[in-house]
């Protein structure tokens, strides 16, 4: 499996004998396992999958090429199990994912495995996940298509009097009904003045005439996610609402136009942000332009003014500028896009002209 071979190469070049994986998305990427609460050790010779009795049968079915090792009663404890794998494969310097290891686990493992040096590492697997293969792209493409279909249908449900939570529930149902394994992440529904909250949690607020409604949602297919936002309006927009919407729409287009392989991640951000700033709303766009999407909803590259990552063919990223005006409302428009040699393919295809219900 080329993913494991690439990881082993990276381990060698950084001077590690092996790596302990604890992050679910990295474990899934490397082993195919779709469950939880498990550990993987990979080295030149080790393909060890460590789990407990709840998951051993599943792991044996899913993790081709891995030795599935059961820990917990009556088998050995976690630290003895990891120690056993390391001794068998001559692993003395064991890398771990620094952004996932808890202090509790670190203390337990370092106290219980005195002969092994635990070394923090970052991005070893994520660096391989950065560029998606065709199969991963097809999963995200399907997740985007399902989200588009669900959006199209939820529009028939949205009207004055339904609450944000009602819309969230309906959208969740539609995403699953149209074939997703799950929603891509917790759905955001923010209406009226609440649309100034970029990551609002759906509330009992009922839709009123004149409300902007920001819907931020996605689908999950085989673990891969899509991510899209549309802001719509119920009732006729005011001139100010039209002005803000048009600025965000043009900024989103500017961001997308600036994307192609070889470009630094800060460039599309500058492009969209520059447009919003020139229109006088720079202070109302506080977050980065977008982020990678895949097995995690937020992954590299994180596109902001300071992003140094170079975009590559096969990156899947979001483009999501917004303007948020406290006590008034806000607009965000977001696509998931595939980076190509000379530009992008937009995977989320829902219309971006203002939808008036």
Residues contributing to the site for ligand GLY (CB under 6 A): 185, 216, 227, 320, 334
Query: Closest approach of Cβ 291 to ligand GLY, in Å?
Result: 6
3-state class (DSSP) for residue 204: coil
211 binds Mn ion (CB under 5 A): no
148 binds Mn ion (CB under 5 A): no
For Mn ion, the closer CB: 192 or 321: 321
Name which of ligand GLY, Mn ion, none residue 185 binds, using a CB cut-off of 5 to 8 Å depending on partner kind. Answer: ligand GLY
Query: Closest approach of Cβ 143 to Mn ion, in Å?
Result: 12
318 binds Mn ion (CB under 5 A): yes
Query: Token digits for 241?
Result: 């609402």
d(CA 220, CA 203): 24
d(CA 105, CA 119): 13
126 binds Mn ion (CB under 5 A): no
CA contacts within 13 A on the Cβ side of 58: 14
Find out whether 94 and 119 touch, Cβ atoms under 8 Å: yes
For Mn ion, the closer CB: 19 or 347: 347
Query: Closest approach of Cβ 229 to Mn ion, in Å?
Result: 5
d(CA 274, CA 280): 10
Judged by CB under 5 A, the residue of 216, 256, 269, 299 near Mn ion is: 216
For Mn ion, the closer CB: 158 or 183: 183
Q: By CB under 5 A, which span of 168-176, 214-222, 240-248, 268-276 interacts with Mn ion?
A: 214-222
Report which of 91, 100, 99 is spatially closest to residue 118, judged by C-alpha positions. 91
For ligand GLY, the closer CB: 188 or 339: 188
- Mention every residue, 6+ apart, whose C-beta is less than 8 A from residue 112: 77, 78, 79, 80, 83
Size of interface with Mn ion, in residues (CB under 5 A):
5
Report which of 16, 76, 64, 79 is spatially closest to residue 42, judged by C-alpha positions. 16
3-state class (DSSP) for residue 332: strand
- Mention every residue, 6+ apart, whose C-beta is less than 8 A from residue 73: none
**Residue 203, number of CB atoms within 10 A of its CB:** 15
For Mn ion, the closer CB: 85 or 174: 174
Query: Closest approach of Cβ 227 to Mn ion, in Å?
Result: 4
**What is the number of the residue whose Cβ is closest to ligand GLY?**
216
For ligand GLY, the closer CB: 39 or 130: 130
296 binds Mn ion (CB under 5 A): no
d(CA 18, CA 220): 31
For Mn ion, the closer CB: 211 or 216: 216
Judged by CB under 5 A, the residue of 227, 256, 269, 299 near Mn ion is: 227
Report which of 312, 205, 308 is spatially closest to residue 259, judged by C-alpha positions. 312
Query: Closest approach of Cβ 244 to Mn ion, in Å?
Result: 19
Find out whether 336 and 316 touch, Cβ atoms under 8 Å: yes
Query: Closest approach of Cβ 335 to ligand GLY, in Å?
Result: 11
- Footprint of Mn ion (CB under 5 A): 216, 227, 229, 318, 334
């Amino acid at each position: 499996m080329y993913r494991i071979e690439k990881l082993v190469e990276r381990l060698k070049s950084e001077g590690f004998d092996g790596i302990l994986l604890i992050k679910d998305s990295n474990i899934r990427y490397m082993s195919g396992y779709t469950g939880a609460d498990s550990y993987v050790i990979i080295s030149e010779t080790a393909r060890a999958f460590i789990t407990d009795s709840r998951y051993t049968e599943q792991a044996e079915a899913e993790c081709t090429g891995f030795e599935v090792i059961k820990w917990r009663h009556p088998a050995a404890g976690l630290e003895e199990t990891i120690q056993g794998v390391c001794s068998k494969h001559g692993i003395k310097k064991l890398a771990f994912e620094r952004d996932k290891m808890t202090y509790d686990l670190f203390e337990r493992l370092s106290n219980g495995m005195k002969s092994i040096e635990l070394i923090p590492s970052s991005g070893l697997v994520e660096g391989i996940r950065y560029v998606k293969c065709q199969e991963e792209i097809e999963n995200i493409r399907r997740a985007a298509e399902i989200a588009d279909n669900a959006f199209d249908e939820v529009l028939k449900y949205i009207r004055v009097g339904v609450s944000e939570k009602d819309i969230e529930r309906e959208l969740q149902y539609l995403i699953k009904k149209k074939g997703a394994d799950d929603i891509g992440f917790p759905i955001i529904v923010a209406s009226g003045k609440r649309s100034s909250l970029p990551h609002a949690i759906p509330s009992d607020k009922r839709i009123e005439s004149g409300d902007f409604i920001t819907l931020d949602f996605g689908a999950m297919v085989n673990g891969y996610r899509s991510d899209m936002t549309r802001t719509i309006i119920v009732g006729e927009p005011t001139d100010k609402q039209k002005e803000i919407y048009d600025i965000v729409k043009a900024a989103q287009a500017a961001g997308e136009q600036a994307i192609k392989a070889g470009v630094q991640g800060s460039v599309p951000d500058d492009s969209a942000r520059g447009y919003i700033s020139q229109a006088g709303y720079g202070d109302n766009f506080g977050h980065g332009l977008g982020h990678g999407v895949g097995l995690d909803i937020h992954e590299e590259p994180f596109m902001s003014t300071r992003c140094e990552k170079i975009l590559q063919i096969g990156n899947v990223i979001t483009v999501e500028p917004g303007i948020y005006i406290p006590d008034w409302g806000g607009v965000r428009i977001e696509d998931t896009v595939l980076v190509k040699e000379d530009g992008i393919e937009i995977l989320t295809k829902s219309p971006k002209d203002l939808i008036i219900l």
